Amino acid sequence: MYKYDQYDQAMVDARVEEFRDQVRRRLEGHLSEEAFRPLRLMNGLYLQLHAYMLRVAIPYGTLSGAQMRMLGHIADKYDRGYGHFTTRQNIQYNWIKLEEAPDILADLASVEMHAIQTSGNCIRNTTSDQYAGAAADELVDPRPYAELIRQWSTFHPEFSFLPRKFKMAVIASDTDRAAMRLHDIGIQIVRNAAGDLGAAFYVGGGMGRTPMIAPCINSFVPLDQFITYAEACLRVYNRHGRRDNKYKARIKILVHELGKDEYTRQVEAEFAHLLTQNIEPPTAELERIKAQFVDPPFETGLSDEIDRSDPDFALWVDNNTVAHKAPGYAVAVISLKPVGAIPGDASGDQIRVMADLAERYSFDELRVTHAQNIVLPHVRKADLYALWQVLDANGLATANLDQIGDIIACPGLDYCTLANARSIPIAQKISERMAAREQEIGELKLKISGCINACGHHHAGHIGILGVDRKGIENYQLLLGGSEGADCSLGTITGPGFDESGIVDAVERVTNRYLSERQQGERFLDTYRRIGMAPFKEAIYG
């Protein structure tokens, strides 16, 4: 894992003092709320329906046990005993007092964490593959590149007042587990025919009200130029992205309106110029960072056998563990989606339990996934049963990874000022309704957004649900056929929307039709792609 040196630490310490000063000016009445708003937003502090919300950055979703424990401490000391893990691999606290926010930032800084650029029209926290460094199928660990981007993008003087927010993701395997092509910039680390590593740039993806899958604008940028290339992508966007309409201000609109070829031409011209400016960190810096992401000392000669005599444990192993690159190890996924619960929520106690387990069983490492779950990346198979018993005793052993109960949901109208409809109660009702048949249904990714901004990734759900406001009444549209993976696709709306109980019934009818139509080995998405929308429409609307 990356460790701060004195420069990184000084940066977050200075930020704490800056924000403390800003809050003091606000509380003493020297700053109006209007003037304070952009300042607090640069620190991830939102004013929501009931209280302030603080969003804490978890760069590329990677955490140590000590960092995780601090997140539990913050939940208990400053919130109401809960934290909410988000689709951007971050954590949010929904019940924050303004006067305590500087102390929270100071607590975070004590474990090399911060809330820098978790909101505002700037480059946000960079996300990555939650199985990085553990996955059997990756080319290299993508996180050193994400860390280099974190540093480059932190307080970038030219790109802190972009037309709109800007999200980047970095992956290094063909199986895309980070929805890479649904980001403003998605980077895939690739190897070319000559055997060299480089960065493939996908620019102009995103969800929101105009979902777009990013096109590849350069399939191989040499790694000793990739920060410069990113700078060129951003400069063209900063200069030419639309600022007349916030709904058309994301880079996807610029790329779409200019056309991929013209946008690429402008980027390449800017890139050629910027190469003369010597802004690229030296290879030695990338090597310094890489050295902090070396494999933990995996034991050799371990057995791959798992004692499956406890059927509940066996089910959890089947559903919630993933192949690891080292023999005798597994990636264990902790579902934060127990039946009927709020997706992504964990109590302070649960957060501490996960911190302890990471230290004991996973080389002191955890990951947050964009699906709002927690990963212990490096667990000996021989330890899985002991691990599972602790998880089970703490309500953390739900065996539903990537199943219909493993729902992604935004906070919705229960918390968010932008929302048109509630998301959480819909997720809870679907989870309860479908729980008994979850195993029979198999992989089915269901995603719920409470408004068109799509924080709940509804466009990319195998089943997506979008809450809208229809004449003052919450109404839910149903989408089918989205996917965020390497086979990225956007869902299609089935037809007229539903009320709260109607949407739950509609989801059940869709899954029933899938079960009656599916052929051997087909996931829901496969069946949908084979038979199309018509049979599902018939099942829903009769």
Partner 1 sequence: MVDVQYRFRSDEPVADPAVTVDSFGEQTNAAAVRIEPGDDARDLLPFLDRLQLVEVNFPVFGDGRGYSAARILREAGYQGELRAVGDVLVDQIAYMRRCGFDAFAPDVPLEPADAEAAWNRYGDVYQPTVDGRSAIWAKRHG
Least CB distance from residue 273 to partner 1, whole Å?
7
11, 216, 315, 382: residue in contact with partner 1 (rule CB under 8 A): 11
As a whole number of angstroms, the distance between CA 354 and CA 106 comes to 23
Total residues at the site for partner 1 (CB under 8 A)?
39
Q: Residue 57 corresponds to which tokens in the numbers above?
A: 């950055």
CA torsion angle 224 227 230 232 (round to 10): -80
Task: State in angstroms the smallest separation of the CB of 221 from partner 1.
Answer: 18
Closer Cβ to partner 1, 161 or 541, answer by number = 161
Fill in the per-residue mask, 256 to 285: x = in contact with partner 1 (CB under 8 A), - = not in contact. -----------------x---xxx-xx-xx
DSSP string computed for 180-215: GGGSSEEEEEEE-TTS-EEEEEEES-B-TTS-BPPP
- Cβ 59 to partner 1 shortest distance, Å: 13
Gyration radius of the chain's alpha carbons: 23
**Token pair 């709020």 in the structure block, residue:** 342
Cβ-based nearer residue to partner 1, 151 or 319: 151
Q: Shortest gap between Cβ of 306 and partner 1 (angstroms)? A: 44
Helix axes 6-27, 101-109, angle to 10 degrees: 170
- CB of 143: closest distance to partner 1 in angstroms? 17
Nearest-angstrom CA–CA distance, 22 and 99? 11
Nearer to partner 1, 167 or 513 (CB): 167
The first and second tokens of residue 143, run together, are 């996180």
Q: How far apart are CA 507 and CA 510, in angstroms?
A: 5
Return the closest-CA partner of residue 88 out of 241, 202, 207: 207
- The least distance separating partner 1 from the CB of residue 410, rounded to whole angstroms, comes to 25
Contact window for partner 1 (CB under 8 A) among 18-26, 179-187, 338-346, 413-421:
18-26
User: Contact between 291 and partner 1 (CB under 8 A)?
Assistant: no
Q: What angle do CA 274, 279, 283 make, to 5 degrees?
A: 120
Instruction: Determine the Cα–Cα distance for residues 355 and 374; give it in Å rounded to an integer.
Output: 11
Using the minimum distance from each CB to partner 1, give the nearer residue, 39 or 353: 39
Question: Cβ 154 to partner 1, closest distance in Å?
Answer: 5
Instruction: Report in angstroms how near the CB of residue 232 gets to partner 1 at its nearest.
Output: 11
Cα separation, 46 vs 54, in Å, equals 6
The interface with partner 1 within residues 24-53 (CB under 8 A) comprises: 35, 38-39, 42
Six-digit token string for 16? 């704490």
For the bound state, the minimum distance from the C-beta of residue 251 to partner 1, rounded and expressed in Å, comes to: 14
Window 107 to 146, contacts with partner 1 (CB under 8 A) = 121
| Six token digits for residue 151 | 């540093």
Site for partner 1 in 229-248 (CB under 8 A): 235, 238-239, 243
Binding mask 139-178 for partner 1 (x = CB under 8 A): ------------xx-xxxxxxxxxx---------------
Torsion from C-alpha of 222, 224, 226, 227, nearest 10 degrees: -170
The structure tokens listed for 276 are 């003369």
14 binds partner 1 (CB under 8 A): yes
**CA–CA separation, 283 vs 230, rounded Å?**
16
Q: Does 328 bind partner 1 (CB under 8 A)?
A: no
* Residue number, 115 or 419, with CB nearest to partner 1: 115
What's the rounded Cα separation, in Å, for the pair 508 and 513? 9
Interface positions with partner 1 (CB under 8 A): 5, 7, 10-11, 14, 17-18, 21-22, 35, 38-39, 42, 121, 151-152, 154-163, 235, 238-239, 243, 273, 277-279, 281-282, 284-285, 288
